[in-house]
Structure 1
Amino acid sequence: MKRYRPLLHAAIAALAVIVAGPAPAFAEETAIAEAQAPLIVTDIAGREVKLSAPVKRMLLGEGRQLYLVASLEPEDPLARIVAWRNDLIEADPATYAQYLKAFPELAKLTAFKGSEDSLVDIESVIIQKPDVVLLNLETMRTNEDAKFVEKLAALDIPVLYIDFRHHPLENTEPTIRLLGKIMGREARAEEIIAFRHKAMARVRDVLAEHNPPRPKVFIERIGGYSDDCCLSFGAENFGNYVELAGGHNIGSDIIPATFGQLNPEQVIAANPDHVVITSADWEAYVPGGYWIPLGPGADPQVTRKKLEWFPTRNAYTGIAAQETRNFHGIWHQFYNSPYEFVAVQQLAKWFHPNLFDDLDPDATFAEYHRRFLPIDYQPGYSVSLSDSP
């Protein structure tokens, strides 16, 4: 590799001029002033990685990583970001609009396409000259096959794997600490973690004291995104959230991995007491679909009307939840963010309303916004047919 490096660097320099031009002015103007020093960290995949910290130029392999970056550095979350994948723009347009209003220069940030388990275009990475590339854990297999990390390492561009999606209850807090460390925001990271612990204890302690019966729950994943039924979760992610909230996730009995699918007959046979739909505004992907446009600022009348369609699906014919109207919709992005404590509180309130009458997930999330985020809280993350219209 060494004998090819002069040619490779020359090609990279030419490519940077031809394709990208100079780096955006706002990135230079907002560069972090702290002096960098070598740092060795261990990422979520257990890899030891050497980089220069605090990092000044991060490339986000997923745009939704902004949820955490902004929590750690709300004064100017874009100061350290040189490029990102465009998924936040398309998958969470309401949150993107909030950040765009607060930070208009976000519109100038280099964005690239991709999917959750795909490679980041290597030319896009090289051009931006990042101090670090943040990738989701689920991209690891693809990256190994393509020798992506090794190719970047030859150019002194380190890669860190993080995870909010596959094992969020296990990996979210290590991810928070990892980013806090490389950004020089370790104290801030611990404040976020303490907040999460307190929010989760509001549910855990009550359930431990009363030990209520656990209702059977079916999670319909990405409800309304397609006509398929019935995508769901195994024992991880929302499946785990259900258990922490005092329910029993029927997908855990059938699906061996984080994500999977049941057939309608399995759902009917399981006879769930509650059905929870994870959904969001996916107009960019499925125009006019049955999805529920949950997220900041969502109109409750619109989301309730969209939720009304789900009990009519064949998979729910005659189940207990259909009789009691215990159908609920919740923001899908709780599955891929450091905010899952909000989802756990909301699920607990639906499953055990008498035990959690005084619990207010909206107030919890609003407090998180006040303390850690640069945007104002707007409700709209959940809807339920069991509530009075």
Structure 2
Amino acid sequence: MIARYARAIIALLPFLGSPALAETITDVAGRTIELDLPAKRVLVGEARQIHVIAALTGEHMLDRIVGWRDDFLTKDPDSYAAYVERFPALETLPRFGYVPNGTFSLESAIALSPDVLTLNIESQKGAEESGLEDKAAAAGIKVVYVDFRANPAKNSEKSIELLGKIFGNEEKAQEFIAFRRAQIARVTDRIASQPDLVRPKVFIERAPGNDAENGCCRSFGPANFGEMVERAGGHNIAADVIKTTFGDISIEQLIVQNPDHYIATGSNWAAESKTNRFVHVGRGADPQAAREKLQALVERTGFSGLKAVENKDVHAVWHQFYGAPYEFVPIQQFAKWFHPELFADLDPEATFREFHEKFLPIAYKPGYFVSLEKGTN
């Protein structure tokens, strides 16, 4: 009789899941946290972390999530719609505000009894100053910081590993990391093999047209999109001036530098933009409409004489690549723009499609890049 019960329990083990075990981890802020892993109830402190969580959990994306920040609908509605279509329960998932601007309600979060709150590293200062970290700890909520934006080269892989632990799929996290490394190496290895490579000067403008003034020129220093430009074999001219992740250069500096390529970051910001001048690129975006917005951007004062504009080396890239470890895709696309002959065989669209098929629970749709067509007025 006992042996029969033992055999029955053993047979059920694969369906019971792994028990949560106390483990000590170190987050990207260098904080040591002891928590039971995998977590049972997770509050996602930035909804765009879904781009990583979905790759780690697939069809089980919502199994452990009890709430999320309210940014997905306004910052990335095209992706939001795709995930809601696949997971309708997302529409009723409790939403929370942003820690740095004071709209995050810890009381509402506590009511959901989460084990873990995953915050992006830029929230740390606000969380400390507001006492959120201490109050969360008193309520039994472990705060874990991740980073895909401020210093992705340093923190992206660590952050993927952390989310892999929290969501109970460390093996998938390592598969993700390996895929990402291999796809970046397809560009960087070839660049390294070209000792006489001439790096074109590149200006990448951060979210132009998504402000009331329609001014210029927000950009990136040596990290984030700035680093992607460098890894793709270009020279990010803004890094000569900006030494932090984000910053500004003047239109006069842009004219003096006279870049060979101009790249705008764009997304669907219709829910929050006052001017609707941004370039709408992203999942399923209309390329012709995007080109019209891109053309309007380079008709601003000071742009007409730039080499990039005269030669129609004018492009747009999905802004949300800047906050997810999908940078292997823009690195490949940038490399094709900067060195078309060297990377004639590279197909970034196929790469991103493969990533969706291997890791994501939603189907791929193009629209993440656009360029002005050469030979047109």
The TM-score with structure 1 as length reference comes to 0.89
- Select the residue among 238, 241, 255 that pairs with 1:254: 241
Secondary structure class of the residue paired with 1:74: helix
Structure 2: how far apart are the matches of 1:318 and 1:194?
43
Is 1:364 matched up with 2:364? no
Structure 2: how far apart are the matches of 1:388 and 1:125?
55
- Select the residue among 311, 316, 338 that pairs with 2:325: 338
Structure 1: how far apart are the matches of 2:274 and 2:357?
33
Is 1:187 matched up with 2:171? yes
Partner of 2:307: 320
Partner of 2:183: 199
- Matched residues, number: 358
Deviation at 1:73, TM superposition (A): 0.3
Indicate if the aligned counterparts of 2:99 and 2:123 stay in contact, CA closer than 8 A: no
Structure 2: how far apart are the matches of 1:372 and 1:228?
39
Deviation at 1:305, TM superposition (A): 1.5
Indicate if the aligned counterparts of 1:62 and 1:116 stay in contact, CA closer than 8 A: no
Structure 1: how far apart are the matches of 2:100 and 2:304?
33
Partner of 1:127: 111
1:373-384 superposed matches below 5 A: 373-384=360-371
The one-letter amino acid of 2:357's match is R
Secondary structure class of the residue paired with 2:119: strand
Deviation at 1:51, TM superposition (A): 1.0
Secondary structure class of the residue paired with 2:264: strand
Compute the RMSD of aligned alpha carbons: 1.5
Structure 2: how far apart are the matches of 1:253 and 1:347?
19
Deviation at 1:196, TM superposition (A): 0.5
1:147-158 superposed matches below 5 A: 147-158=131-142
Partner of 1:10: none
Secondary structure class of the residue paired with 1:50: strand
Secondary structure class of the residue paired with 2:145: strand
Is 1:214 matched up with 2:196? no
Structure 1: how far apart are the matches of 2:347 and 2:339?
13
Structure 2: how far apart are the matches of 1:115 and 1:348?
36
- Select the residue among 39, 43, 50 that pairs with 2:27: 43
| Deviation by residue 1:255-295 (Cα, 9 ceiling, x = unmatched) | 12111111111110111111100011100011551111111
The one-letter amino acid of 1:125's match is A
Secondary structure class of the residue paired with 1:315: coil
| Deviation by residue 1:297-341 (Cα, 9 ceiling, x = unmatched) | 111111111111122111323111111011100000000012111
Partner of 2:10: none
Is 1:348 matched up with 2:332? no
Partner of 1:140: 124
Query: 142-151 or 96-105: which moved more?
Result: 142-151
- Select the residue among 218, 221, 232 that pairs with 1:234: 221
Gapped regions of structure 2 (runs ≥ 5): 1-15
| Deviation by residue 1:51-82 (Cα, 9 ceiling, x = unmatched) | 11111211011110111110000012111110
Percent same amino acid at aligned positions?
47
Indicate if the aligned counterparts of 2:99 and 2:126 stay in contact, CA closer than 8 A: no
Partner of 1:78: 62
Structure 1: how far apart are the matches of 2:244 and 2:46?
22
The one-letter amino acid of 1:313's match is R
| Deviation by residue 1:179-232 (Cα, 9 ceiling, x = unmatched) | 112222111111001100110011011111124101111111012102121010
Is 1:166 matched up with 2:168? no
The one-letter amino acid of 1:123's match is E
Structure 1: how far apart are the matches of 2:88 and 2:125?
36
Structure 2: how far apart are the matches of 1:43 and 1:328?
36
Indicate if the aligned counterparts of 1:295 and 1:380 stay in contact, CA closer than 8 A: yes
Indicate if the aligned counterparts of 2:312 and 2:373 stay in contact, CA closer than 8 A: yes
Indicate if the aligned counterparts of 1:119 and 1:139 stay in contact, CA closer than 8 A: no
Cα gap change, 1:117 to 1:173, in 2 (>3 Å): farther
Structure 1: how far apart are the matches of 2:237 and 2:79?
31
Deviation at 1:386, TM superposition (A): 4.8
The TM-score with structure 2 as length reference comes to 0.92
